[in-house]
Amino acid sequence: MEKAQASVPGGSAKWAGRATIVIPTYNGATRIGHCLQSLLAQTADKNIEILVIDDGSTDNTVEIVQRFGLVRVVSQSNAGPAAARNRGAQEAHGEVLLFTDDDCIPFPDWVEAMLAPFTDPAVVGVKGIYRTTQAQLTARFVQLEYEDKYRIMAAQPSIDFIDTYSAGFVRQRFLEAGGYDTSFPVACAEDVELSFRMSSRNWLMKFIPCAVVYHSHPGKPIHYFRKKFKFAYWRVLAVRKNPSKAVKDSHTPQLMKLQLLLLPMLVMSLLAGVLMGRVLLALGIVAVAFGLTTIPFAFRALRKDVAVGSLSPLFLAGRSVAQFLGVVGGTLYTLRNRAALLPVIRTR
């Protein structure tokens, strides 16, 4: 496995305390072994525990985990990923919590890179990055999409967006903030919401681009668009709980928000075109306007992957439609489920 190219932040400084790596899993028997192998290789002889929270699996996940003797496993009734991660934080013995997912394979120096920033007592949270080796066109687009967001985050002195696939927190602060919000029933946006909540307290969180985990992205357009719908759907709840983040956060390109208007603009232009008898002209104007918003990303993508860069306007158009529908669905959900908007209570 290759190593991250960037140097570990903090120079030669290394975390000297105890840390706990928390991995929630549900029916992860076919996935979790590779993740644990990588982590055990880099935590041997270090003051780091690996804690797997089995969230009511019905397969042989626990049996697989127990084969890795040095890994501690805690089982609970199925309660969802947010509750599983919170249980891990409560059970942890470390002063710092590191989170990753059972389908991720951390780079050999992931733990070292994630812990290095905590030598600065002001740092409360850190975030690493995804990388993939997939050859599918859609997966390559997704990777470049992530890298475009990483470009934005790298310019920020403090971030407000930490994903659970490569996340780290000071345990005391994590519990003080209340942990992950269990009103999110699926593994989507509960990590964003916690980041927003921590940011509102002006806590320092850092982006660590050399803390890398391998992951598989959607390999087909339909799977990618479904995922973007899901993300947008649950992001509405995260933003409703943290309305100041509706305008801007450290992760989302501002042009993406403008592109969300593609579907309603198409509908309005179609209606206007019918009334004026110039349907093709009206649709053409919208298409050109949207195309102009895709140029910055397409230009950056072309320099890395010509095929992806050339097709990126189509991917971005499909993404905008999926996200708009997700926003509509998420808005309706929050209107129907007022209890989901209640604040998170501090974890003891």
Residue 277 belongs to some domain of the structure: no
What is the per-residue pLDDT for 217?
A: 96
CA dist 132 to 21, 41, 153, 347, Å? Answer: 22, 20, 19, 35
Q: For residue 181, which of 128, 236, 237 has the smallest C-alpha distance? A: 237
Provide the whole-model pTM: 0.90
CA distances (Å), 31 to each of 60, 130, 158, 279, in order? 12, 17, 33, 50
Alpha-carbon distance of 172 to 175, in angstroms, equals 5
At 7 the pLDDT is 45
Answer yes or no: are the C-beta atoms of 62 and 32 closer than 8 Å. Answer: no
* 32 backbone dihedrals φ, ψ, rounded to 5°: -75, -20
| Cα distance between residue 154 and residue 210, in whole Å | 11
Pairing of strands 204-214, 71-76: unpaired
Q: What is the DSSP letter of 347?
A: P
CA-closest candidate to residue 215, choices 92, 133, 112: 133
Beta bridge partners of 250: none
Would you say residue 74 lies in a domain? yes
Q: Position 231: which residue type?
A: F
**CB of 211 closer than 8 Å to CB of 129:** yes
The pLDDT of residue 188 is: 86
Is 7 a domain residue? no
Is 120 inside any structural domain?
yes
Query: Using the 8-state DSSP alphabet, how is residue 169 labeled?
Result: E
Express each pLDDT in 285-313 by its tens digit.
Answer: 888 888 999 999 999 999 999 999 999 99
Query: What is the reported pLDDT for 41?
Result: 94
Closest CA to 165 of 192, 201, 135: 192
Radius of gyration of the chain (CA): 21
Which positions of the chain have pLDDT values less than 50? 1-12
Owner of token pair 């991917």: 315
Q: What is the CATH number of the domain that holds 153?
A: 3.90.550.10
Number of domains into which the chain is organized: 1
User: What tokens does 186 get?
Assistant: 């699926």
Whether 347 is covered by a domain: the verdict is: no
Rounded to whole angstroms, how far apart are CA atoms 119 and 121?
A: 6
Torsion over CA: 320, 323, 327, 329 (sign): positive
Task: Please say whether the beta carbons of 108 and 38 come within 8 A.
Answer: yes
Q: In the prediction, which pLDDT does 300 show? A: 96
Instruction: Give residue-wise pLDDT tens across range 131-181.
Output: 999 999 999 999 999 999 999 999 999 999 999 999 999 999 999 999 999
Specify the pLDDT at position 345.
65
Asked if residue 103 is part of any domain, the answer here is yes
To the nearest 10 degrees (0 to 180), the angle between helices 221-241 and 306-336 is 40
Assigned domain for 295 exists: no
Question: Which range marks the domain in which residue 76 is found?
Answer: 19-219
Within-domain flag for 12: no
pLDDT averaged over every residue in the chain? 90
Say how many residues make up the chain. 348
